[in-house]
């Protein structure tokens, strides 16, 4: 009888030790998975390459309001750098406006960054906006700091940024409605 009690006690102790090891490994595995997810999120580099977190900035809008890129977090953003004197910019603007009107209810916004430092006169910008009937937000890059930050060397340049602020595509040169539509659709298919 005494032997039977000892065997049961040993089995109970082994079971408890086994459970402790299992529980410890499971907790460690969950902790590692949690840390891995946090590390992946924390390791997204801020920069202008596809896959980077888009650098934030603050500029003044055509309406005189302060606008930050992060104001649009939660929406897909086409960040478009343009100038009034730029022929390809003039070609793409009707496409931008149509796309903005067609998709603004679907949490897609176009943020136009005027390369004001390259303009002959800042007064040309509101005239251009009125001539093209632009209704999407326009901000002034008066000192060229944001275009330098985004390494804009060709006009126009457009960045497609997902709702988490990650750059998904970059276009140098004019793009049309179809390219915008395909790019946003592709991003949605990836779940971005």
CATH 3.40.30.10 fits 58-189, yes or no: yes
Q: Is residue 62 a contact partner of residue 139, using CB atoms and an 8 Å limit? A: yes
Q: Could you read off the pLDDT of 101-148 as tens digits, one per residue?
A: 999 888 999 999 999 999 999 999 999 999 999 999 999 999 999 999
Is 192's pLDDT higher than 90? no
Q: Which range is most confident: 2-6, 36-40, 44-48?
A: 44-48
pLDDT band at 35 (very low <50, low <70, confident <90, very high): very low
- The H or E element spanning position 60 is strand 58-61
> Residue 14's pLDDT is what?
53
Average pLDDT over residues 153-167: 96
pLDDT > 70 fraction of the chain, expressed in percent and rounded: 78
Is 17's pLDDT higher than 50? no
Q: How far, in Å, CA of 192 to CA of 186, rounded?
A: 9
> Residue 175's pLDDT is what?
97
Q: How far, in Å, CA of 169 to CA of 69, rounded?
A: 16
**More confident of the two residues 38 and 7:** 7
> Residue 44's pLDDT is what?
85
Tell how far CA 151 is from the center of its chain: 16
Beta pairing partners, 158: 80, 171
**More confident of the two residues 17 and 186:** 186
Average pLDDT, the chain: 85
Judged by DSSP in three states, 136 sits in: coil
Q: How far, in Å, CA of 55 to CA of 117, rounded?
A: 20
Q: How far, in Å, CA of 43 to CA of 98, rounded?
A: 36
Tell how far CA 111 is from the center of its chain: 12
pTM for this prediction: 0.77
């Amino acid at each position: 009888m005494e032997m039977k009690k000892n065997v049961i006690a040993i089995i109970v102790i082994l079971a408890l030790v086994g459970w402790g090891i299992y529980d410890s490994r499971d907790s460690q595995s969950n902790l590692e998975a949690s840390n891995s997810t946090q590390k992946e999120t924390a390791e997204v580099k801020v920069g202008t390459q596809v896959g980077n977190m888009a650098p934030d900035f603050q500029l003044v809008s055509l309406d005189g309001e302060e606008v930050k890129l992060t104001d649009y977090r939660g929406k897909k953003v086409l960040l478009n750098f343009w100038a009034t004197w730029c022929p390809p910019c003039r070609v793409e603007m009707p496409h931008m406006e149509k796309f903005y009107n067609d998709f603004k209810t679907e949490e897609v916004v176009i943020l136009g960054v005027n390369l004001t430092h390259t303009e002959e006169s800042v007064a040309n910008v509101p005239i251009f906006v009125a001539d093209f009937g632009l209704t999407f937000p326009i901000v002034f890059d008066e000192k060229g700091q944001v275009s330098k930050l985004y390494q804009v060397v060709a006009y126009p340049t457009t960045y497609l940024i997902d709702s988490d602020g990650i750059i998904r595509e970059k276009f140098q040169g004019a793009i049309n409605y179809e390219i915008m539509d395909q790019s946003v659709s592709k991003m949605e298919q990836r779940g971005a």
